[in-house]
Chains A and B, each alone.
Chain A
Amino acid sequence: MNARIGHIATNTFREAVRDRVLYNLIAFAVLLSGAAIFVGQISIEIEKLVVINLGLAAVSLFGVVIAIFIGIGLVSKEIDKKTLYTVLSRPVRRWEFIVGKFFGLAGTLVVNTFLMAIGVFLALLYVAHKFEASDAQILVAVYFIVLQFFIICALALLFSSFSSPLLSAVFTFSLFIIGSFSEDLRGFATMSHGLTKWLASGAAYLVPNFSALNVISSVAHGEPVPSQVILYNTAYALTYSVMAICGAVLIFERRNLK
């Protein structure tokens, strides 16, 4: 990574921290401690499951919200505040600006997720009093959640490069919802015929497949995630993110900023 991308990424990270993004950790801590302490009193034999399911769902949802709401403003905010012109008047290329922004936001989410994951493990220790070998699978689920964030960041950046923040938020959130239903879209494609089948199949492959990256339920039951799945999911998420960033760069390179 060249130094200019590094600088933009670092500044994006600092700006997110200055915007008090990490304050969500307080809400997360309250939610998780509450669940760890009270679920045992209102349910039967699911304390550990709730800590894992709720903890990982919260990590995922908090991250998705941050990725969308910060991602959509990454470009437009710089244009509104006229700071983009200062940046681009220096020897910084437009693609470097986009890539730097992506790494900055992705870095913020990785740090946020890392801190939340520590919280999940602490709550687990409080509930179960010890760790089991199968608990290591939670790390795989956290890793997959981070991969989801990369895709969402890239998509938010893509929409942010050509539309308003509000529309970008709508587009990105819609793709998150559709991506969560992608298995159903595939099921629909297999049941259809002719042109509909082609269109449905095309749509199923075009939208991000978030369900493949969701292993929360299975790791909560201590089921191992095969290494092949980890490998191919990593490859999928990275290629999809790069594809979206390429789209963002192509659009931003041609955008008239005058």
Chain B
Amino acid sequence: MKPAKRRTLFTSALLVVCLAASVMFLRRVDQLRTNATLDVLYITSPKMVKRLSLGYDGLLADIYWTRAVQYFGSRHSEHARSYQSLYPLLEITTTLDPKLLVAYQFGANFLSPPPPHGAGVPEKAVQLVQYGIEKNPTAWKLYYDLGFIYYMELKEYEKAAEAFQKGSTIEGAHPFMKVLAAQMAQHAGDAQMARAIWTTTYETSQDKQIRANAIAHLRALKVEEDVTRIQDAVTAYGRSTGNLPAGMHTLIAAGLLPGIPIDPDGQPYKLTRGRVELANPDDFPFVTKGLPLGYVPPERKNLDKLVQ
């Protein structure tokens, strides 16, 4: 073999070996620095980031929005209880591009629900959406989001009504905004009102995740209504007979129920020692009634596994 050819072969082999070794070392570093890049915000001042963007603020906003989504996604999948960098990431995103409506809408959705479904900071969600309204006064959906947070998370019904009312006056607003504003005074806190809000969420969003979330909440509302109704029948039976009903058939025979009640999945509810329970509670993540005694939701089970 000629020396030149030998040199070429040796250099090529060395190149490949070094490339493989560098990948191996980097993977080792990644293992040692789990989530290091996701959790670290090198510059926390939104104004400073905007200045440093050199006019490419739109692109940087897209990058920060992607970081916020990735951060929320990774923390959510770990069933985290704290989302420390979420609001700063959203603040930087919206300062860089105040017209990025998706950041306000999804951002509020990430911030407001209590853990593990969200960051559990509805006040920050309100702050974010109010900034969005200030920058995009004609975006009626932001008023809807604001009303939604006030109603669902903060239970401040007057403020929710005010937000729906203001949003309903904007050109192109969904007609249901007026209905929500009008019904708020009469039905604040009712399941009927909650159903109306989740239905509007489902109808006005094109996003699969938001629609799936709305369906999950609507299913939970249906279950809670059913459980309350059946539990009332159980109480009425106990008052009149002094005994607990043996099963659903007893209640039907007593004329307290028209037939075997079924959940939204078509499964019959169970009656255990006077308690109404869901057959498959894991399929209804937002339900608070009808859960078996000592029931642990799936995410809690996973969290326990992590702790062990």
Contact = CB atoms under 8 A, between A and B. Distances in A.
A211 B55 contact: yes
Max chain A Cβ within 10 angstroms of own Cβ: one of B51, B55, B65: B55
Interface in B90-126: 97, 99-100, 102, 106
A61 B59 CA distance: 12
Nearest to A220: B58
A210 B55 CA distance: 8
For chain A, what secondary structure do more than half of its interface residues adopt (helix, strand, loop), or is it mixed? helix
B153 interface: no
A43 B57 contact: no
Interface in A13-44: 39, 42-44
Given A181-B51, A184-B51, A217-B97, A46 B65 contact: yes
What size tier do the contact residues of chain B reach?
20 to 34
Contacts of B209: 44
Given A42-B69, A44-B102, A45-B207, A217 B62 contact: no
B66 A217 contact: no
A61 B56 CA distance: 10
Interface string A46-62: 10011011100100110
A45 B109 CA distance: 14
What size tier do the contact residues of chain A reach?
20 to 34
Contacts of B57: 217
A60 B62 CA distance: 17
B1 interface: no
A217 B58 contact: yes
A177 interface: yes
Interface string B21-61: 00000000000000000000000000000010011111101
B55 A180 contact: yes
Given A44-B207, A57-B59, A180-B54, A221 B99 contact: yes
Contacts of B69: 42-44
Contact of B100 (A49, A210, A216, A218): A49
Nearest to B58: A217
B56 A57 contact: yes
Given A43-B69, A45-B102, A46-B65, A53 B54 contact: no
16 contacts: A42-B69, A43-B65, A44-B207, A46-B62, A46-B66, A49-B100, A50-B59, A52-B58, A54-B62, A57-B58, A177-B54, A180-B55, A216-B58, A217-B57, A217-B61, A220-B58
Interface of B: 51, 54-59, 61-62, 65-66, 69-70, 97, 99-100, 102, 106, 207, 209
Complex A-B, nearest 9 residue pairs according to Cβ-Cβ distance, in ascending order = A217-B58, A214-B55, A43-B66, A53-B59, A53-B58, A180-B54, A45-B102, A57-B59, A57-B56
